[in-house]
Every structure is written in C-alpha cells, then in structure tokens.
Chain A
Amino acid sequence: MNKCSIAEAMIYQLELTIEDGGLGFHGYGSPLVQIALHLAKRTHAPNIILVAGATYAVNPTPVFLTPTSNDAAMAIGAECTLDITELFDLAASGRMSRMFLSGLQIDGFGHLNVSRLGVDCLSLQLAGGGGGCNLSCDAQHLTLWTAAHRTEIDTQGKRRYR
C-alpha cells in the first residue's frame, strides 16, 4: 500500500486544482502551494505561466526549496522576471488565473483573518496578509488552503498555527 504524508497529499490535492495555461502565482510562506504549482507545471500543466512569489521569477526551475521565498535559489532557470508592479497589474487587469491564500482563521464563507485576534483589545498580532487583500479580489480563481488543522498538539495541549 502506498503511503504519503499529509503535506504530500495536500500538495497533490492543490495540484489537481491547477489547469493548464494562464498565469498561476504563489505568494511567500506557502511551500505547499509552491510545490503544487511546480508539480503541475512539470506534469499536466506545462503551459501555465508560473510566477514565484517574492522573486517574481517566471517559470523558474529551482532544484530545492528554501525556507524563505525571496531567495535567488527560487529564481534559478527563470525565463524572465517581473516586478511587484507588473505582477499586481496583471492581476488587477484580470490576467492572473490562479492564486492560493490561507489565514489563521477561515470561516465557512471563505473569509480569512490574517491581521489580528481581538476586536476591541488586541490579543494576537498576526504577520499580515501581504497582497492577499488585493489578489482575493483580482485573481480569477482562488483556492483557500490551510495546514493548521493538522498541526500537532503542543505540550500545553494547544494547536500550533503556522
């Protein structure tokens, strides 16, 4: 019987949602999405325009994944590179076909919380959503994902969030 990790299963499921052609973008801090896009590009979606978050490299062929996204290793083999203005202009004009977002909290309607916990009194400051607030509107097809429900329970019995 074949076995795979939960991360590998998520990568596979994400990869299945990616159609060939169009422009697919992954932001930073999204290694599962990053690998899913590369997997799709190297299998059933060879014509997708893969733009890497942070480096804005187009169709890179990295040989390993770095723990930070704005690393030259992630831009190796790229056909060309965009910049922040051009990438977000493409999205705003309806030319970004695929994007993926996550958040600490996700409700049944697809609302994401990436900013803070606590309305009147701040109890947890989050890192922020990068360009998600723009791309959630501007990307043609959006997939929400989370790995948080699978994180291990820590010694205090609490879930750790990523």
Chain B
Amino acid sequence: MFQYIVRRILIALPVLFGVTIFSFLIVNMAPGNPVEMQINPDATAADIALKKEALGLNDPLYVQYVRWLSGILHGNFGFSFSTHQAVTGMISDRIGPTLLLMGTAIIIAYLIAIPIGILSATRQYSWMDYLSTSFSFLGISIPHFFLGLGAIYVFSIVFQIFPTGGMNTLGGTGGFADTFNHLILPALVLGTGIAGSMVRYVRSSVLEILGQDYLRTARSKGLKEFFVINKHALRNALIPIITVIGMDIPLLIGGAVVTEQIFQWPGLGQLTIQSIGSRDYPTLMAMNLMAAVAVLLSNLITDVLYSVADPRIKYN
C-alpha cells in the first residue's frame, strides 16, 4: 500500500509540471496585464513601461515561467502584483474560511443526501421517492446565486435571523458563536446544492444493491429490515459513492466562487475573483497549482478509500 502511494505521487509530479505550463500560458493569454489593471489613469506611458520592466513583464514568456518555477521550487510563491503581500500569506489567510465553509457545506450535503437517498431507493416509486427526486432536481437546477439571494431575502431581511454576509460582525468581538451564525446561510445554500446531485447518486447506488442475493441471505437470517438496509446494503452502496465524495474534495480547496461572493465570505473564491480582475499572475498561478494538487491528492485518497471500503480491492 505504501509503495502504491509513493508510486502514485511520483506519477503525479509530471502531471503537475504540465498543469503549471498550461495555466501559465492561459493566464498570460488573457487580455490586459497587471500594470494596466491597477495603475491610475493619469500615469504616463513611460511610467507604465517602467513598472512593466520592474515586474519583469517584458521578458519572453519562457523566461518568466522559468523564473516563477525556480521560485516555486525554492518554496517562494512570489508577491502579489496588486497588494504586494506574499502570496503564501494571502492564501493562508483565506484558506481557513474556505475550508470551514466548504467542509460544513459538504457535511450538510451528506447528512441530507444519504438518509433521503436510502429512503427514496427503499420506497421506490412511492410519494416519498417522487418528492425527494423532485427536490433533488430543484437542488441541481436552481443556481447558487439565486438560492443565495433568496435565502438572504427570507432569512436576513424578512425574518432577520441570520446576517446577510461576512464571517464576523464588524466591530464585534468575533468568537465561535458569531462565526457560526454567519456560516449557516452560505453553508446551507452550498450544502443543498451539493445534496441535490448526491441524493441521486445515493438512490441509484442503493437501488442497484437492493436486488443482490446477499440481502436475501441477510433477511433469511431473521435480521430486521433496518439492519438489512443500513448494514448490509449501505456498506456496499457506499463504494460507488466514494467516487463522488472524491470529486467533492477539490471543491473544498477551490472554494465556491459565486457563493463566497454573494455572502462576502473572505475565502479563496473571493481571492480568485479579485486576482483575476487585477491580472495578479503570481496569485492566480499559486491558486491553480493548489487546485491541481487538490485534484490529484483527492484522486489518490479516493483510490485508497476504495481499498478500505471494499476488501476485494487490493493495490500493490
């Protein structure tokens, strides 16, 4: 198993290298450049040229890439073109809120999706099944920005239960309760969205298991239906669901750009939008690299989880 993991990581390195080349090219192909995006309109052409020279933007692309790459290899992610802070510092400030928001959202999604998916499958074609598939359809099709705005209107403006946005009350003392209060709405909006598609995965996965012979064996032992479903069927149904969980992990890192924007959540999604707007190459590149690592890592974790969940799968 250990050997397998090492091998997978070694294979991942060239992939990461390729990803950095592609994203460097694409980021640089975007119209405009960092200097034009931030300098005030009164600046002269000479000022702009000077600034570009200072940032090294006049060098050929490959020179810029090699410079960036050698920085990365030395653990130096560079400084933001727009805020002049260290990129690592900016990201580490933002990653906590994003992990908190996305983690909560995914937990909510699973807490909703697994029981509903099971109920839906075990009572296939009942009114409950129709109700839950309709809700999951709604969850998939309503865009997050719409659901988010709706939630803000209902819960923040009409009923005034939750704040409209941010992570802490401005000027407040902060603390866990305050953050939690701010967290609920965006996490629910994201969570129900993810739950929408999850319900379908769980439902179809459980349905597939329900016809299996070993469930008849379990029933013939005199087990209660509750255990037949929640022990014997669920353990098997979870195996394909692991893939879907694996696909959700990169979300944790990437952040939900739209939801963070609507709720003014100070996470990576917001940082992404800001750095795209200002063509902040070092920050964008660092974010891309991080997303790529997250995807590769979650694929690896998924494969390892498979062998934990299904004893028939062994790697060596």
A complexed with B: no
